Structure 1
Amino acid sequence: MTLQEFFTRHPRLALGLSGGVDSAYLLAEAVRCGCRIQPYFVDSPFQPRFELEHARRLCEEQGVELKVLPAQPLADENVRQNGPLRCYYCKKQVFGAILAAAKADGFEEIIDGTNASDDASDRPGMRALEEMRVYSPLRLCGVTKAQVRQASRELGLFTWNKPAYACLATRIPTGTAITTEVLQRVEAAENELFRLGFSDFRVRCVGDTAKLQLPAAQFSKALEQRKELVKALKPQFAAVVLDLEPRGEE
């Protein structure tokens, strides 16, 4: 099945729009195929501000209205305590909000941007999507991340080469309770790395230490700007360390 065939079979859809590469491409393809698509962005402390800005820009460029839904995933003890199934409970809350809003707007079917390259065995959040009957067209049609990027580039989407950016909660080690304050510190630290010209990185929170995960090509830049990095991150963390294992795409 092709995406065109999928959208022909499902002409009215609600989309969980993250602002990332995959859901951005889905939005553009749905519009191109003549699907009646309603994107929703779930705004929570887990999402950095730039993702919302990107989602708004995407919708403006595609000529569709974005609906922003506020959420507080940390109100759920299962999410706050950050156990192995945190993503499962978080997805339940996030897509539960989308399902409720979509139903009120007259949409019965929901889609998300999971692609054929995503490993379902390592993503408990996918189980939540299956239980809520959320469709993943890219996965169903066998569209990989590489194909999404290539097609996005051909469509002129600004997201085509955007690095993968998992939610801020992934920066906290499993088993360590998540707080809004810690998420804000991580976001502030990552904003500083963006400002200094780094990309495709993570700032992992290990107690009061920021562990920087960078692509191998940026190691020399980090060493050259060592003093600037430490100065920029010290307001948020007592110590800054560099992970010598290069970061791979999530």
Structure 2
Amino acid sequence: MTDHPTAAPADDAVGRVTDLLAGVDRLGVAFSGGVDSSVLLALAVRILGPGRVVAILGVSPSLAADEREGAHTVARHIGVPVVEISTHEGEVAAYQANGPDRCFHCKHELFTRIDDEVVAAHGLDAVAYGENADDARRPDRPGSRAATDHRVLRPLADAGLDKAAVRHLAHAFGLPSADKPAAPCLASRIPHFTPVTREKLAQIEAAESALRRLGLGDLRVRHHGDVARVELPADDLVRAVTTLREDIHAAVVAAGFRFAALDLATGIQSGAFTLPLVAATHA
């Protein structure tokens, strides 16, 4: 049997994470409903039992309403209660300034609120979040520094579970999020050094929600002032410029933009705004 994470059976992954959670009696999982945190939550339940695990969902204007609802659906499937906490990263000047370290300030706010409001109230021994082994190697993940500062565990990454392995486990566990596209926070759609505001986040959420109602699944609406730059997978481009062209334009304008632009060059790119700045810094 190969020990490569993508080929490891579910019980092997459980064994690795069990070793990493040795000594933990009650665990809080920073939970978004995405595939990474869903797999971490499911693994924790298998190891500790549902009565000793709490899913913690940070709620703010940067979390889309459908993402919030989806997180509750996944947690119910796993059998774990969700504790919602309000986070106020939008009031932090460094977050509003939207530099490449924006995610640090967001995660710092989340983990601070968890420390202050959840750990003692639920008798938690530790808090963990769903960083995987691929994310741990990326230079555009300043949120991981906040996790280190708050001594938050990262069992998936430490167990060597990469994105492919996490997807494999999500299917093995029958999770509703197994095929869910990555859904970073709404603030990631705003170019760095352009201020993050509640109004921009609401525009982005409204546009993306409307486009999903048109049957477009994986997508991003990048906020460029009056222009919404829509990123879609290559398979959706043809219908976007033919049968859906007028509907896409109407949806974007209804969300408060003046113009709709379709990105033909890159499609959907994780870290589209952050990676070029990080690469330049490390060049």
TM-score (norm. length: structure 1): 0.95
Alpha-carbon displacement from aligned partner over 1:76-109 (angstroms, at most 9, x marks no partner): 1111111222111111101111122223321131
| CA distance, structure 1, for counterparts of residue 53 and residue 144 of structure 2 | 22
Asked if 1:132 corresponds to 2:150, the answer is yes
* Residue equivalent to 1:102: 119
- How far apart are 1:127 and its partner, in Å? 0.9
Asked if 1:247 corresponds to 2:268, the answer is yes
Give 5+ residue unaligned stretches, structure 2: 1-14, 272-283
| CA distance, structure 2, for counterparts of residue 189 and residue 239 of structure 1 | 12
| CA distance, structure 2, for counterparts of residue 120 and residue 133 of structure 1 | 20
- Aligned match for 1:198, one of 204, 212, 216: 216
* Residue equivalent to 2:11: none
Asked if 1:182 corresponds to 2:200, the answer is yes
| CA root-mean-square deviation | 1.4
Which stretch of structure 1 is more off in the superposition, 187-196 or 56-65?
56-65
Which stretch of structure 1 is more off in the superposition, 120-129 or 214-223?
120-129
Counterpart code for 2:97: Q
Matches within 5 A, 1:84-95: 84-95=100-111
User: Is 1:215–1:248's contact at 8 Å kept on the other side of the alignment?
Assistant: no
- How far apart are 1:249 and its partner, in Å? 4.8
| CA distance, structure 2, for counterparts of residue 65 and residue 228 of structure 1 | 39
Alpha-carbon displacement from aligned partner over 1:22-80 (angstroms, at most 9, x marks no partner): 10111111111234211110100011111211221122222221110012211111111
User: Is 2:26–2:123's contact at 8 Å kept on the other side of the alignment?
Assistant: no
Alpha-carbon displacement from aligned partner over 1:187-216 (angstroms, at most 9, x marks no partner): 000001100111211000001100001111
Counterpart code for 1:15: V
- How far apart are 1:4 and its partner, in Å? 2.7
Query: Alignment partner of 2:196: what SS?
Result: coil
Give 5+ residue unaligned stretches, structure 1: none
Aligned residues: 250
TM-score (norm. length: structure 2): 0.85
User: Is 1:116–1:139's contact at 8 Å kept on the other side of the alignment?
Assistant: yes
Query: Alignment partner of 1:122: what SS?
Result: coil
* Residue equivalent to 1:24: 38
* Residue equivalent to 2:79: 63
User: Is 2:25–2:125's contact at 8 Å kept on the other side of the alignment?
Assistant: no
Percentage of identical aligned residues: 37
Alpha-carbon distance change, 29 to 95 in structure 1, aligned in 2, over 3 angstroms: same
Counterpart code for 1:63: G
Asked if 1:112 corresponds to 2:126, the answer is no
* Residue equivalent to 1:50: 66
